[in-house]
Chain A
Amino acid sequence: MLRSKIAGHALALVATIVLGGLLSATLVRLAPGFDADERQLDPHLNAESVQAFRAARQQDHNIWRFYFHYMNRAAHGDLGTSLALGQPVRTLLRDRATLTLRLLTVGLALAWVAALSLALTAAWLRISTYDALTTMVSGTFLCVPAAVLALLSVLWNVPGSLVIALIVFPHIYRYTRNLLAKSYSQPHIITARAKGLGEARILFWHVVPGVAPQLLAVAGVSVSMAVGAAIPVEALCGLAGVGQLAWQAALARDLPLLVNITILVTVVTLLANCGADVIGHMVRGQES
């Protein structure tokens, strides 16, 4: 069962990469200036050399040949060259990935710590005012666009990772709180309480293990949310990460770069979701 689940996810991942690569190749081919080669304008070159460049470009007119070459190059790590920045896409991604990774890791950790602590204390204390207050705070953050939070962080010198945490936290909190509330209304919890079990024991022995698989699923989704939040945060806070690169590529209509980033992001989020799904499956298996 577990093996077939992993195989299914691996298949989806490979299909995404192949489809994404084909889409990327199509967009590169359709991008303005695909047929042009600026070396042809070099006055030092004679007619034969110019003709040789033209002949080389002619080979790419066969769409299937072009796809094959593109995919072959991509398989060897050559993702093409950015039209706007004139640098290899691979180098650009490598240089900026570290910052984005650090931003996302710290942001996600902060968001989860805040959401879990607030949701668990709300479930434990069961004070309606506290619950209403935390729900109101998280609800307010849900109503503010991510880009506005990024702009305000520049104004108030708040680090980027904290902004990512503020964007992701309300989603996790709301889901966790609802899960815990639903879990507390189940008959076995009511019975446990009626039998006089302590609140801490009920929470950590009976409620949390029951909601763990769903929380793992949210963990996968939260990675996707954090990656999405990285665009406005990096773009508006002046952080040179992958999100800022995607934004610059979008403004410059640098399609090869943008599509490659999108594929990379899709693969990362798919991997996160697959990981969460597989771990959740294992946890459920252990429980049963």
Chain B
Amino acid sequence: MNLWRKLACALLAAILCASAAANWLAPAGYAKQYREATDAPPSRTHWLGTDEIGRDRFARVLYGTRISLLLAPAAALLSTLMAALIGGLAGYLGGIWARVAMAVTDLFLSLPWLFLLITARALMPLNVSPLFSVTVTFLLLGLLGWTTAARVLCATAGSLRSADFVRQARAAGVSGQRLFWIHVMPNLKPVLYAQFWISIPVFILSEANLGILGLGVAEPLPSWGSLLKELEGLVSGGDEPWKFVPLILLVLVVMSFQFLLSGQEQVTA
């Protein structure tokens, strides 16, 4: 592991620990409103100031980070599992199954990701409870984000289908189902790990985009998307630099994932 990956790992661990300890580190809950101090600049009480309705920005950043950092991997896990099932099975079965699965995958891939997301999000009710909005947002990311991984997995499973050890197992009378679960799936693990790590920063950025467009996590729950929406009201960049803290945090986290990912790609290769 090189120095940059070690630094990325340490940074991610520190941010994750800080967000996990939000209950103790934050001066108040994410929804508590200090009505006497609305839109306040940073102070001893409010390290990053307060938003326009008096909520402590530092608390919201900590809780928002927790939501984004916990749910993006959950969505990535869901999408990777779906990709493993759809892509892996299609590749293993081959023939018409692989062609149909890849045609559907290509159709999904040809649609711009953000268009697909906002169309699917608009099909759900918009006026929902905050908890439901979090679930829907990340569930959608997980359910729609499997296509790229499925393509890679289909190709890998397709090459495994004609591998010597699979042929020998088939000749020895191993059933198709056992062959898939015991012999093919374990060999897809390195690709699955890589796809899982690739998906996390993609989902973090997608949630941020949806949040800024008002189609992500609903208020008062914080997420990086809803926190970045505050940048909309800025008149000039230098006036309130503390409002850029969520953006800096997001860029650092995504960059850390990219560094870790470069290591994962080397392992997979």
Residue of A nearest to B235 (CB): A155
- A144-176: CB near B (< 8 Å → 1, else 0) gives 111110011001100000000000000000000
Please state if B212 and A227 are interface contacts (CB–CB under 8 Å). Answer: no
Residue B209, interface by CB 8 Å: yes
Given A145-B208, A145-B250, A148-B231, answer yes or no on A235-B126 (Cβ-Cβ < 8 Å).
no
Which residues from B are CB-within-8-Å of A147?
A: 208-209, 212-213, 228
Given A152-B231, A250-B118, answer yes or no on A16-B107 (Cβ-Cβ < 8 Å).
yes
Residue A286, interface by CB 8 Å: no
Please state if B215 and A251 are interface contacts (CB–CB under 8 Å). Answer: yes
Residues of chain B from 89 to 144 with CB closer than 8 A to chain A in the complex: 103, 106-107, 110-116, 118-119, 121-123, 126
Report the minimal beta-carbon distance from A111 to chain B, rounded to whole angstroms. Answer: 15
Q: Which of B107, B122, B201 contacts A253 (CB 8 A)?
A: B122
Report the minimal beta-carbon distance from B7 to chain A, rounded to whole angstroms. Answer: 14
Please state if B255 and A140 are interface contacts (CB–CB under 8 Å). Answer: yes
Which residues from A are CB-within-8-Å of B251?
A: 140, 143-144
Residues of chain B from 186 to 236 with CB closer than 8 A to chain A in the complex: 201, 205, 208-209, 212-215, 228, 231-232, 234-236
Which residues from A are CB-within-8-Å of B116?
A: 262
Residue A246, interface by CB 8 Å: yes
Residue of B nearest to A230 (CB): B112
In the complex, A149 Cα to B191 Cα: how many Å?
32
In the complex, A152 Cα to B235 Cα: how many Å?
10
Which residues from A are CB-within-8-Å of B112?
A: 224-225, 227-228, 231, 265, 269
Which residues from B are CB-within-8-Å of A262?
A: 111, 115-116, 119
Residue A105, interface by CB 8 Å: no
Which residues from A are CB-within-8-Å of B214?
A: 251
Report the minimal beta-carbon distance from A20 to chain B, rounded to whole angstroms. Answer: 9
Please state if A146 and B110 are interface contacts (CB–CB under 8 Å). Answer: no
Residue B264, interface by CB 8 Å: no
Residue A270, interface by CB 8 Å: yes
Residue of A nearest to B118 (CB): A250
Please state if A155 and B118 are interface contacts (CB–CB under 8 Å). Answer: no
Chain B binding surface, main DSSP class: helix
Report the minimal beta-carbon distance from B6 to chain A, rounded to whole angstroms. Answer: 18
Please state if B234 and A265 are interface contacts (CB–CB under 8 Å). Answer: no
Residue A133, interface by CB 8 Å: no
In the complex, A224 Cα to B115 Cα: how many Å?
10
Residue of A nearest to B255 (CB): A143
Chain A contact patch, size range: 35 or more
Please state if B103 and A12 are interface contacts (CB–CB under 8 Å). Answer: yes
Residue B12, interface by CB 8 Å: no
Given A258-B122, A262-B111, answer yes or no on A145-B228 (Cβ-Cβ < 8 Å).
yes
Report the minimal beta-carbon distance from A233 to chain B, rounded to whole angstroms. Answer: 11
Residue B85, interface by CB 8 Å: no
Residue A207, interface by CB 8 Å: no
Residue of A nearest to B236 (CB): A155
Q: Which of B121, B213, B235, B258 contacts A232 (CB 8 A)?
A: B213
Q: Which of B103, B123, B255 contacts A255 (CB 8 A)?
A: B123
Residue B254, interface by CB 8 Å: yes
Residue A236, interface by CB 8 Å: yes
Report the minimal beta-carbon distance from A147 to chain B, rounded to whole angstroms. Answer: 4
Residue of B nearest to A224 (CB): B112
Residue A259, interface by CB 8 Å: yes
Report the minimal beta-carbon distance from A262 to chain B, rounded to whole angstroms. Answer: 5
Residue B173, interface by CB 8 Å: no
Q: Which of B103, B115, B209 contacts A227 (CB 8 A)?
A: B115
Q: Name the residue among A225, A232, A249 with the largest chain B CB count within 10 angstroms.
A: A232
19 other contacts beyond A147-B228, A148-B228, A232-B209, with CB at 8 A cut-off? A12-B103, A143-B201, A143-B205, A146-B205, A147-B213, A151-B232, A155-B235, A224-B111, A224-B112, A225-B112, A229-B114, A231-B112, A231-B213, A246-B115, A251-B122, A251-B215, A262-B111, A262-B119, A266-B110
Q: List 24 A-B contacts (CB under 8 A).
A: A140-B251, A140-B255, A142-B254, A144-B247, A145-B205, A145-B212, A146-B205, A148-B247, A151-B231, A152-B237, A155-B231, A155-B234, A155-B237, A231-B115, A231-B118, A232-B114, A232-B212, A236-B212, A250-B119, A250-B121, A251-B126, A258-B119, A262-B119, A266-B111
What residues make up the interface of B, taking CB atoms closer than 8 Å to A?
A: 103, 106-107, 110-116, 118-119, 121-123, 126, 201, 205, 208-209, 212-215, 228, 231-232, 234-237, 247, 250-251, 254-255, 258
